[in-house]
Structure 1
Amino acid sequence: MASAPQPRQRIRRRRFYQEQYQLDGGLQNRYTAGSDAVGLTMGYYDTRALPIYQYLHSEDHPRYAIADDFFQSAFGGSFLNHQWLIAAASPVYPAAPANLHSVLDTNGMPNNYPLYTSTNAVRDGAVTQVCPSTVPNRACGDYAVNTIQPTFQPTSSNPTKLPPQTGATIGDELSAAGVSWAWYSGGWSNADGDVGGPGWTNGTGPSCSDPNSFANPSFPNCPNKVFQFHHQPFNYYANYGPGTPGRSHLQDEQAFLGLAQSSQASCNLNAVSFVKPVGLENEHPGYTSETSGSNHLVSLLQSIEGSACAQDTMVVVAYDEFGGQWDHVTPPGQGGASGPHDLWGPGTRIPALVVSPFLRGSFVVDRAQHDTTSILATIEHRFGLAPLSTRDAAVTDLSTVFQARQVSGAGGGG
């Protein structure tokens, strides 16, 4: 029997300057006016039918924590927040062309939307506005803050590319310290042209045989039609370009699953693993569904929980950014709200989940303040690494989940 089509929402644009307008200095009252999707920024969603909810409320669910005060590290969308996940910094575009720079109006907006008309000529560019800033407390200079493509394959056909980055990343620090790690991405082997590698589905050539490949691909680079190039942050860095030693750390998600499945007697996973699902399984509005991504998340968790790795592995599940949705909690730095902040963020609060056998109950809520760079701080503190920037040096790491206590009335399958 054919299954019913799963509902999808339209894509809501999440951009660097727009989110700051939406936050309105902590009043949180411009999400609709500052969005191309207007009313879709607000809604009520019953999540109890999602596979992840069902899994975490099953009889034998793993111990888990909700990090209830967790914010995306940077204003805007996926590109910039992936960069902050690995570098705690915004990428640079030295001497960026003038047409890539944003131009803001007097309210700090770079675009027109159904409920917003700019007060002067604007440009919604991939790069920050030229200095000096025309609006107080807005970043300026040669920084890439909205989606732009990497120079290295896998990349799109868009000719505008971000020059290879040379700043420090958490990968650099882990490698220097001799700590094993990898970035596992769904669809990587196909996109990177790793013929015969884990996850490869495109045969032996001379063309890409998988019908779900990008239109007119050039074998052996056969990316899935919803593979997201800007979700691969290490691929923007010179240290991880094709032919470099660092490239071996960029692998297909199937390699991670293979290691987990082989971990019956002892854990074969790297000390640090980043796992990024392919587009169809990442819950992104517009091109996939919540259910597909939630099912995939449950499978990932089960692959760990069903292995020897379950006894000493901490899993952090976080969204890259807010998806264009309103939230009522004021981020640090907005309207005087306390907490580490700078001109780059943090932005809107996002869901975050931690799974670990060392939590103090079957379900706990951690109310300590965090942002995405708290993941970096956790890794840095665990392995004795230096912070990458002032932000990850200042944030609270996720060890606070181990002080959080059991939620009253929660337990078992409840």
Structure 2
Amino acid sequence: MMKLSQLSRRLLAGASAALVLAPSIASAAPAGLDKIDTVVVIYAENRSFDNLYGAFPGADGIAQASAESKLQLDRDGKPLSELPPVWEGLTAKGVTPVINETQTEHLSNAPFALDDPKGFDLSLGTITRDLWHRFYQEQMQIDGGKNDKFAAWADSGALVMSHFDGSNMPMWKVAQKYVLADHFFQAGFGGSFFNHFQLACACAPVYPDADKSPAKDLIAAVDGDGKTLTLAANSPASALEGMPKFEKDGNLTPDFYAVNTMQPPYQPSANAPAEGGDKAYADPAKPTTLPPQHEATIGDLLSQKGIGWAWYAGAWQDTLDGKNARPVPNFQFHHQPFNYFAAYAPGTPARAEHLKDGGMAGAKFIADIDAGHLPAVSFYKPQGNLNEHNGYTDVASGDEHIADVIAHLEKSPQWGHMLVVVTYDENGGLWDHVAPPKADRWGPGNRIPAIIVSPFARKGTVDHTQYDTTSILRFITERYDLPVLPGLALRDKALAENHEKPMGDLTAALDLSK
């Protein structure tokens, strides 16, 4: 069994985070960066770039994909004769129209439009079924950068190859007005839980001594390459015969990093408090309760410099008050990364100052926008029914909500010196044709949409610069002259070792000479 890294052990032991941070991220910040006084990050859910923006004019979209990148291979590496059916049906349970598994059989081995009037003719307001979007499966789907085994290693069959014409979305129009980044990748392989940590700290959460803990049965069985789940003996040989089966598809790596969904140790959490225990905590005996984390976050670094910041969570207080419900607001507990960190435990001053209630439908966040009361750095997480996640909500509701937030930001007293980044946490298991750059063991994963909104934006352009989620942290680090999070240094080093371009810091999307 591999041991935790020395860095992780030092932080878990309570060593000062500042001791392990690099002194700078670049020799000098770009000129004019101090013109940005307010940074706003809006974090939506589970869409690949090609799924929504694959037809955007001037972007590297589906029309630019090679025939090889569109063709999906079976588990044996040979081309599939057709796409597998969408296992268990295309639309989510209880959603109209009902499109069952049989209706999705015999689709051509190629990307297809869900809103094609001659096909499924679904609107952006349709809730489609969820897809696997997990740490190991995504690496298996990427297949070394060929992106040709999405259907092979999915639980949703053909649905991975689906896309919409997004040209009628309000955010498409925002992208046309400002800047669409078409080479922006999710920082980590897999799902929302892991990629929210990438946004908060560019780090992988840990579960110390997991093999002796309630989570011992959540440790994944992985092949010797460290990126492939071990197949079960009864796994179907072909994707046309059924979903793959694994010996143990767990939430933890063999060396105890948490890479798939674990629950916060503090409320709000999907795990209730222990019987007779502190009501502000989740039951630590539950296998999916992650112990409090101690890595340095971007919030810690901002606080050390006296720079204001906040994480605004839609429906946070309503959920704490027991009012969370489906379909509204459907608060997602694992989308709140700072709620996993000991520095923001219940009762701490830092929690009261920085973990903010965004209000139902973002009402309190919007009120702060309108009043000009946003701190220097704000993160906004829409509530579940407004985040665009497959399986429990649609694209249209979240897209309209985010466009409305942008409209408020454009009228804010703070707008004149603002940078807004709208992006998605990860691809949601959906295919994209662009190979992610090769870096470290954590990612980056597939390409996702990102829109840069600012009075300093190079308006009406598509930015082809290579970015990932950590590019947001790079911008914040440079703007406020912060120490460098270890994960950023790790990624820089890994990219260089793999002869890949470095990640951008978002400034290529801006004209700071104004």
For the criterion TM > 0.5, the same-fold answer is yes
Separation (CA, whole Å) in 1 of partners of 2:300 and 2:261: 23
**Equivalent residue number for residue 337 of structure 1:** none
Describe the SS at the equivalent of 2:464. strand
Separation (CA, whole Å) in 1 of partners of 2:367 and 2:163: 38
**Equivalent residue number for residue 126 of structure 1:** 251
Separation (CA, whole Å) in 2 of partners of 1:401 and 1:103: 42
**Equivalent residue number for residue 377 of structure 2:** 272
1:109 Cα deviation from its structure 2 partner: 2.3
Summarize the alignment of residues 69-218 of structure 1 with structure 2, pairs less than 5 Å apart: 69-97=183-211, 98-105=216-223, 108-110=228-230, 115=239, 122-128=247-253, 130=254, 141-157=255-271, 159-160=286-287, 161-193=289-321, 210=323, 213-214=324-325
Say if 1:281 and 1:292, in contact at 8 Å, map to a contact too: yes
Say if 1:151 and 1:162, in contact at 8 Å, map to a contact too: yes
**Equivalent residue number for residue 233 of structure 1:** 337
Separation (CA, whole Å) in 1 of partners of 2:314 and 2:160: 28
AA aligned to 1:180 is: G
Seen in structure 2, the aligned counterparts of structure 1 residues 225 and 96 have a Cα distance that, compared at 3 Å, is farther
Output one character per residue of 1:275-318: Cα deviation in whole Å (capped at 9) or x when no partner. 00000000001111111001100111011101222211000001
**Greater alpha carbon shift after TM alignment, 179-188 vs 105-114:** 105-114
**Equivalent residue number for residue 457 of structure 2:** 359
Separation (CA, whole Å) in 2 of partners of 1:294 and 1:153: 28
Describe the SS at the equivalent of 1:252. strand
Describe the SS at the equivalent of 1:234. helix
Seen in structure 2, the aligned counterparts of structure 1 residues 359 and 119 have a Cα distance that, compared at 3 Å, is closer
Residue 392 of structure 2 is aligned with which of 259, 264, 287? 287
Residue 246 of structure 1 is aligned with which of 333, 350, 374? 350
Q: How many residues align?
A: 350
Output one character per residue of 1:254-286: Cα deviation in whole Å (capped at 9) or x when no partner. 3321111213xxxx2110000000000000011
**Equivalent residue number for residue 10 of structure 2:** none
Seen in structure 2, the aligned counterparts of structure 1 residues 260 and 186 have a Cα distance that, compared at 3 Å, is same
1:55 Cα deviation from its structure 2 partner: 5.0
Say if 2:178 and 2:461, in contact at 8 Å, map to a contact too: yes
Residue 374 of structure 1 pairs with residue 499 of structure 2: no
**Equivalent residue number for residue 50 of structure 1:** 169
Residue 411 of structure 2 is aligned with which of 306, 327, 341? 306
Separation (CA, whole Å) in 1 of partners of 2:452 and 2:223: 41
Say if 1:42 and 1:325, in contact at 8 Å, map to a contact too: yes
Separation (CA, whole Å) in 1 of partners of 2:450 and 2:246: 38
Seen in structure 2, the aligned counterparts of structure 1 residues 105 and 308 have a Cα distance that, compared at 3 Å, is same
Output one character per residue of 1:98-137: Cα deviation in whole Å (capped at 9) or x when no partner. 3111002578125657728899961011101x2xxxxxxx
- What stretches of structure 1 move > 2 A for 4+ residues in a row? 53-57, 104-107, 109-114, 116-121, 157-160, 390-396
Say if 2:153 and 2:243, in contact at 8 Å, map to a contact too: no
Separation (CA, whole Å) in 2 of partners of 1:119 and 1:290: 28
Consecutive unaligned residues of structure 1, counting only runs of 5 or more, are 58-62, 131-140, 194-207, 216-222, 334-340, 405-414
Seen in structure 2, the aligned counterparts of structure 1 residues 121 and 179 have a Cα distance that, compared at 3 Å, is closer
Say if 2:421 and 2:453, in contact at 8 Å, map to a contact too: yes
Seen in structure 2, the aligned counterparts of structure 1 residues 22 and 271 have a Cα distance that, compared at 3 Å, is same
**Equivalent residue number for residue 16 of structure 1:** 135
AA aligned to 1:81 is: N
Say if 1:105 and 1:120, in contact at 8 Å, map to a contact too: no
Separation (CA, whole Å) in 2 of partners of 1:247 and 1:224: 25
Residue 261 of structure 1 pairs with residue 370 of structure 2: yes
Describe the SS at the equivalent of 1:127. coil
Seen in structure 2, the aligned counterparts of structure 1 residues 56 and 94 have a Cα distance that, compared at 3 Å, is closer
Summarize the alignment of residues 19-34 of structure 1 with structure 2, pairs less than 5 Å apart: 19-34=138-153
Separation (CA, whole Å) in 2 of partners of 1:117 and 1:297: 37
AA aligned to 1:240 is: Y
1:252 Cα deviation from its structure 2 partner: 1.4
AA aligned to 2:250 is: G
**Equivalent residue number for residue 199 of structure 1:** none
Separation (CA, whole Å) in 1 of partners of 2:246 and 2:314: 40
Describe the SS at the equivalent of 1:150. coil
Q: TM-score, normalised by structure 2?
A: 0.64
Say if 2:312 and 2:378, in contact at 8 Å, map to a contact too: yes
Separation (CA, whole Å) in 2 of partners of 1:120 and 1:398: 40
